[in-house]
A and B are shown apart, each in its own frame.
Chain A
Amino acid sequence: MTPYIVLSAILFAIGAAGVLIRRNAIVVFMCVELMLNASNLALVSFARQNGNLEGQVAAFFVMVVAAAEVVVGLAIIMTIFRTRRSASVDDASLLKY
């Protein structure tokens, strides 16, 4: 069981680091998805360990939520890209201080 949890922790860390490091909003968003998928792996592994279905059910919910998030997120990133011709999160810096 432990290897799966460790793998999920590594994936989660890669995702979180990517969100903090990468500049392109699409890539940042993909890293968030990686974090969600790491959570799915952990949920399913724990479901197997605990011997009940709750974790597996939760994984389905996370997938649905991730899909809904993609719809909203890509819409927002697309508008930004079309307006600014750039999806870099560093360029969007009118709001500060």
Chain B
Amino acid sequence: MEFSAPQIAHEVLWPAYVVFGAALLGVLAEAFLPRGRRFGGQVVIAALGIVGGLVGTVMVAMDLPSVGPDDVTAYGVTTVGDTVAVDGPTLFLWGLVLLLGLGGVGLFAERRLESGLSAFAGQAAALPGTEAERKASTEGLDHTEVYPLLLFALAGMMLFPAANDLLTLFVALEVLSLPLYLLCGLARRRRLLSQEAAMKYFLLGAFSSGFVIYGIALVYGFAGSMSYAAVAEAVRAGESGSVLMLTGLGMITVGMLFKVGAVPFHAWTPDVYQGAPTAVTAFMSAATKVAAFGATLRLFYVAFGGERWSWQPMLWIVAILTMLVGAVLAVSQQDVKRMLAYSSIAHTGFLLTGVIGLRDSVELGGAEITSLQAVLFYLVTYAFATLGSFALVSVVRDDSGEVTALSRWAGLGRRSPVVASVFALFLLSMAGIPLTAGFVGKWSVFAVAVSAGAWPVVVVALASSMIAVYFYVRVILLMYFTADPDPTKAGSTDVGVGGDAALAGASPSSGSQPERGTITVTSPTRVADEVRVETPSLATVVVIAVCAGVVLLLGIVPGPVLDLAGSVGTFIR
């Protein structure tokens, strides 16, 4: 037993180094820059780091060596002792998460909506409703640590789909999760909700990663090695249905399904998406799902591809449940962010429908799209629609911050036609209406699932798509065809659905110490508490515009991106 130093192919890993390096530089900047300069400095470091990573990803993708037998197209290298695989799908996902990260930085840097302050707590350690918090607010304190945290999460998201080894998978999972737990708890307004979201996300996330590592231990016991190649070897050679292997696979799957938010491990999703600062929700809901699906695909295709008769039925059930629960529960939601959270659960189900469309390359006809291609394309359509819609939620505000109660969005279409129509575009794309990106995405995942024989799942998927259309269109009707609510009545109707109780930070009935639960800037007399659309900073406008553009463009000419997703080849083994 001795160690030999692994060969590290720095020439393909450097995009990830750039992002990690920018994150570390951000930590140093936090320590050494004077307070006034930190915001600008951090934004510049983060943006440059991500752009550098993007440039690197494109450059690495340009000259990726082709590997494997001739009948299977795959490009890439495995490196660091085969623990990291930089191949076509990895680079596609790197590009996607980095673009989303850039959007995230743009949304994080939004300071116009809060009149010069960011959406993050001035001082997270100051208790809500205390003098210290007010002071932090009036002095304009700001947690600029959020940018390094975002970069660390982003670096973890780059490592996650590249993980070609069970231990790397676990480490990447934690590197991407831990910063997100913190980011969730840093909201400037509605801090109790935000802290509660952080705690729920953290405890459940830690619980699920406990399952992952125990599953990894069992699979390691079965295969005798952590590397996907060795696991795949052992799965093919060993007798099918080994208890050790199946238990291990099941436990790892629990963790992965938790990360993507699939039923029955979805309970955290609505709470966290609602409670977290909206900029964080936008980034997290889009990018985490992309990275986690990348890692899930590699795990199932490369390591456990030989055992797919065991995991496909399990994923059938999970996909069916996820789509149905997501779509049905979204119907009854009264809060925009919560509704989008349930819609994202439903999308997880659609993505899983694509995952179970896995077939051997020999079974595929030449012109058919592969399961991997369909899922990658769906991830693009989903990610941009989600990022854009959460970004839009952050500009609909009243005196006490964002307005998320759906009832108060009534009549938005008349007051601000641009915002309402762009939001409607995102909703229609998520619903899968033709001429938007979502339609092509759904069509491709359903097609691969049908061709793999999973037609019962597709039938359920079509049914839940129809349910989903109902609640998306309901919001559009609300925005365009419902009269403005009477502002005097709006407050009282919201209490029941947690709207105003949430605004105040704590519901009065539960408040053993209500004075602690009040938020910072609620004016005592709410005379004109009307919902309005505020003009955000240029960065947010650009993010929303780009997302809308992508959604429209992919709906009308999906060809180039579909081809790109097809040209990445398969996972290397």
Cβ contacts under 8 Å, B127 to chain A? 82-83
SS of A interface (majority): helix
Cβ contacts under 8 Å, B198 to chain A? 76, 79
A-B CB pair tally, cutoff 8 Å: 151
A42 to B218, CA, bound (A): 8
Cβ contacts under 8 Å, B332 to chain A? 97
A83 to B125, CA, bound (A): 10
Q: How far is the CB of A56 from chain B (nearest CB, A)?
A: 9
Contact (A83, B191) CB under 8 Å given A61-B170, A68-B174, A95-B196:
yes
Set A5, A52, A73, A85: member contacting B224, Cβ < 8 A: A52
Interface residues of A in 1-58 (CB under 8 A from B): 5, 8, 12, 15-16, 19, 25, 28-29, 32, 35-36, 38-39, 42-43, 45-47, 49-55, 57-58
A12 to B170, CA, bound (A): 17
Interface stretch among B46-54, B178-186, B287-295, B453-461?
B178-186
Cβ contacts under 8 Å, A35 to chain B? 207, 210-211, 213-214
Q: CB distance B221 to A46 under 8 Å?
A: yes
SS of B interface (majority): helix
Q: CB distance B220 to A76 under 8 Å?
A: no
> What is the chain B residue whose CB lies nearest that of A19?
B207
Q: CB distance A39 to B210 under 8 Å?
A: yes
Q: CB distance A28 to B220 under 8 Å?
A: no
A58 to B498, CA, bound (A): 44
- For the side of the interface on B, what is the size category? 35 or more
Q: CB distance A25 to B203 under 8 Å?
A: yes
Set A45, A47, A54, A83: member contacting B192, Cβ < 8 A: A83
Contact with A along B203-247 (1 / 0, CB 8 A): 100110111011011101100111000000000000000000000
Q: CB distance B200 to A95 under 8 Å?
A: yes
Q: How far is the CB of B167 from chain A (nearest CB, A)?
A: 5
Contact with A along B329-346 (1 / 0, CB 8 A): 000100000000000000
Q: CB distance A89 to B274 under 8 Å?
A: no
Q: CB distance A52 to B210 under 8 Å?
A: no
Cβ contacts under 8 Å, B217 to chain A? 8, 39, 42-43, 46, 55, 58
Q: How far is the CB of A30 from chain B (nearest CB, A)?
A: 11
Q: How far is the CB of A7 from chain B (nearest CB, A)?
A: 13
Contact with B along A55-90 (1 / 0, CB 8 A): 101100110010011001101110110111100010
28 contacts between A and B (CB under 8 A): A5-B221, A12-B210, A15-B210, A16-B207, A16-B210, A29-B203, A32-B206, A35-B210, A35-B211, A38-B214, A39-B210, A39-B217, A43-B220, A46-B221, A47-B220, A50-B220, A50-B224, A58-B170, A65-B174, A69-B174, A72-B182, A79-B124, A79-B125, A80-B195, A80-B199, A85-B512, A93-B510, A95-B196
Closest 10 CB pairs of A and B: A35-B210, A46-B221, A42-B217, A95-B271, A39-B213, A50-B224, A92-B196, A32-B206, A39-B214, A43-B217
Q: Which residues of A line the B interface, CB within 8 A?
A: 5, 8, 12, 15-16, 19, 25, 28-29, 32, 35-36, 38-39, 42-43, 45-47, 49-55, 57-58, 61-62, 65, 68-69, 72-73, 75-77, 79-80, 82-85, 89, 91-97
